[in-house]
Amino acid sequence: MTGPLYLRVRDVPAAPPAPRGPSPTVPPTILTPMLIGAHVREDDPIATAAERGAEIVQVFLADPQSWKKPATHPQAEQLRAGELGVVVHSPYVVNLASLNNRIRIPSRKLVVQHAEAAAEVGAIGLVVHGGHVTQGEDAAAGVDNWRKFFERQADAGGFAVPILIENTAGGDNAMARRFDALARLWDAVGGFGAGFCLDTCHAHAGGEELVGVVDRAKAITGRIDLVHLNNSRDGFDSARDRHANIDSGTIEPDVLAAVCAAAGAPVVVETPAEGQRADIAFLRGALR
Ligand SMILES: [Zn+2]
């Protein structure tokens, strides 16, 4: 496993010499690691990360298709204490925008629970899809549901880890597919400190050009906290969400590497497991 890549974030001026005694050791530059890793489904994420050369892992803490409360991860203590970066992805059933009480209310509860379980593993955040309303419903009401969610939780003391809202690939009523919709969502939630996760497959399949996408996203959200670096099996604006390994989809690998470099955030590939080691190695090589 090679060492982490580093981004130079700022140069630190040398401290003036101390009047007496040993002068403090001031490193010339503070380096922030640009972590590259993968979403892993294996029971032992620490071992799997080592096998694939991942410096950060994304995990589910429960069955992604279920409403079940997450259990404490068996490696929670090691993950929290260790060097490996961790991020948690919330279940797919969550839809915080939904106008249906029987979906929205349990979604809120599940996200709060997952944020607590994510804190136990030392996660940098909890990824939550933007969600959607259904056809004929008012998208503004979906955006307002997001705002209410953040507002209520702020009143209750906030989330245990940052919530990273992810752009999605499909649907005409999505909160975070097209960036004009993303802008309306951010007007509602940005003030509560919502984080942003940019998925390259979702952007491409959702109809957002990847060239310049980091700048366009940041102009809206002011931040990118995480990149889901995936190729897409389907074409531009296809609205289909099928991830591919970096060298095997409809997006040029160099375009993906450029997104990665521009974002300056941790990168996780959510690609077929057998190609993840090569995906990570490609990105690391491309960024060097
Ligand atoms: Zn993703």
- Ligand 1: centre distance to CA 58 (Å): 10
- Hey, is 174 helix, strand or coil? strand
Q: How many A from CA of 270 to the centre of ligand 1? A: 6
Task: List C-alpha distances in Å: 242 to 130, 206, 238, 254, 270.
Answer: 17, 12, 10, 19, 10
In a domain, 279, yes or no: yes
Domain membership flag for residue 100: yes
How many angstroms does the Cα of residue 201 sit away from the middle of ligand 1?
8
Alpha carbons 271 and 154: distance in angstroms, whole number: 34
285, 256 contact by CB (below 8 A): no
Question: What is the CATH classification number for the domain harbouring 220?
Answer: 3.20.20.150
**Cα 35 to Cα 2: distance, rounded to the nearest angstrom:** 12
Exposure letters 48-58 (e unless 16+ CB within 10 A, then b): bbeebbbbbbb
Q: How far is the CA of 188 from the centre of ligand 1 (A)?
A: 22
DSSP H stretches of helix in the chain: 45-52, 76-81, 101-120, 139-155, 179-189, 200-206, 213-221, 253-263, 276-287
Whether 1 maps to a domain, the answer reads no
What are the pLDDT tens digits along the chain (288 aa)? 344 444 433 334 444 444 444 444 544 444 445 899 999 999 899 999 999 999 999 999 999 999 999 999 999 999 999 999 999 999 999 999 999 999 999 999 999 999 999 999 999 999 999 999 999 999 999 999 999 999 999 999 999 999 999 999 988 899 999 999 999 999 999 999 999 999 999 999 999 999 999 999 999 999 999 999 999 999 998 999 999 999 999 999 999 999 999 999 999 999 999 999 999 999 999 887
Separation of alpha carbons 79 and 75, rounded Å: 6
The range of the structural domain enclosing residue 147 comes to 7-286
The domain total for the chain is 1
